[in-house]
Amino acid sequence: MRNRCFLLLAVIVFCGFALATATFAAEPASPEGQHEPALSLKAIPLVQVGKFAITNSMRVTWIVAAGIIVFAQIATRNIKPIPSGIQNFWEWLVEGLHNFLESIIGPELVRKTFWFFATIFIFILFVNWFGLIPGVGTIGWGHYDPSTGFHVDRPLLRGGNADLNMTTAMAAVFFALWLVWAIQAQGVGGFLKHLFAPKGETTGVLKVLMAVIFFMVGWLEVISILFRPVSLSFRLYGNIYAGESILEAMSTMVPLWLAWLPPIPFYFMEILVGVVQALVFMLLTAVFTMLITQHDNGPEHAHV
């Protein structure tokens, strides 16, 4: 399972890199002398070679992914029967996530998909928290304004999930795995039946009418499924970007020597938001997977 988690991190980071490269390759270059705001809507490329761009948010995802891999390797290098130190923390985190997910989606689905849900939660959580480290978003290249002081136009680092490319990459990876798990659980015919086949027992003209209605409802379900990656990516991006914008706004409302004080309560709130958003992303993906893989498997799932 550990190898799968490491591979998933690599795939997500690569997808984010590919999306960022495509985004900046399609955009015209900024006019000379034009400055970006301190917290722009999009990540800012720091290095661009041809069509390949490395952004400040991409750098954060690389740092966090490498840190998680190194930490996991150190924690599990010499496993002891009675854990202590970082092994104890790692086992507590993984076991807690496993038990929590098992109580929601069941032991069978957890055995198959836990590697994905645990990795996505841990990755999102630490990317969110890394963005709160002092200096992220405030250290970099900029310009000096005589009236207001120095402004950072190109931050060296930016919160990874404050970049829509990164959140879209995670949602796209989940959507691909969701299709694989759905077809594995129900087959192609069962998957299409789940979408378009009439539910319940009917006969005669009513059966034909229900078949037409459920066929039309199936297309609505297809549209809903296609929008799931969009909603997942924009929900995470919007919450993290809004939090960073609030922290920046609070720090600019007072004189420079007091800029550290107003963001403090919002800073602790953003620590909680980082946990909540990681949990929401994981739970939504888990529930979406459960609904397609355990549909019509028995009365125990009728009220999920």
Q: Which stretch of 38-42, 128-132, 175-179, 279-283 has the lowest confidence by average pLDDT?
A: 38-42
| Res. 298: pLDDT tops 50 | no
Check residue 169 and give its pLDDT.
Answer: 92
The residue to which tokens 């900046």 are assigned? 24
Q: Indicate the SS3 state at residue 151.
A: strand
Measured CA distances, 141 to 52, 156, 162, 189, 299 (Å): 21, 7, 19, 56, 60
Average pLDDT on 178-183 reads: 92
Alpha-helical runs (H) found in the chain: 2-26, 56-75, 85-105, 107-130, 164-196, 204-251, 263-293
Check residue 33 and give its pLDDT.
Answer: 41
State how beta strands 52-55 and 45-49 pair: antiparallel
Task: Select from 298, 51, 15, 252 the least CA-distant residue to 138.
Answer: 252
Q: What is the pTM of this model?
A: 0.84
300 — pLDDT class (breaks 50, 70, 90): very low
The residue that leads in pLDDT, 122 or 294, is 122
The tokens for 252 are: 């600019």
Check residue 175 and give its pLDDT.
Answer: 94
Percent of the chain exceeding pLDDT 70 equals 82
CA atoms within 13 A on the CB side of 233: 21
In the DSSP assignment, the letter for residue 299 is G
Q: Which stretch of 130-134, 165-169, 206-210 has the lowest confidence by average pLDDT?
A: 206-210
- Phi first, then psi: what are they for 137, rounded to 5°? 90, -10
CA dihedral 115, 116, 122, 126 (to 10 degrees): 140
Maximum distance among all Cα pairs of the chain, rounded to whole angstroms: 82
Task: Select from 304, 290, 300, 301 the least CA-distant residue to 102.
Answer: 290
Percent of the chain exceeding pLDDT 90 equals 36
| Res. 152: pLDDT tops 80 | no
Q: Which stretch of 148-162, 164-178, 278-292 has the lowest confidence by average pLDDT?
A: 148-162
Residues in the chain: 304
141 — pLDDT class (breaks 50, 70, 90): confident
| Res. 9: pLDDT tops 50 | yes
Residues 129 and 111: their CA atoms lie apart, in Å, by: 28
What residue type is 1 in one-letter code?
A: M
Check residue 161 and give its pLDDT.
Answer: 92
**Beta bridge partners of residue 154, listed in sequence order:** 141
| Res. 299: pLDDT tops 50 | no
Which residues, in sequence order, are CB contacts of 189 under 8 Å at separation 6+?
A: none
pLDDT by residue (tens digit) across 11-61?
A: 676 676 667 666 655 555 444 444 444 577 888 888 887 777 888 899 899
| Res. 101: pLDDT tops 90 | yes
Residues 279 and 164: their CA atoms lie apart, in Å, by: 18
CA atoms within 13 A on the CB side of 20: 30
Check residue 23 and give its pLDDT.
Answer: 65
Q: How many CB atoms lie within 10 A of CB 29?
A: 9
CA atoms within 13 A on the CB side of 72: 19
Check residue 18 and give its pLDDT.
Answer: 64
Check residue 301 and give its pLDDT.
Answer: 42
Check residue 135 and give its pLDDT.
Answer: 82
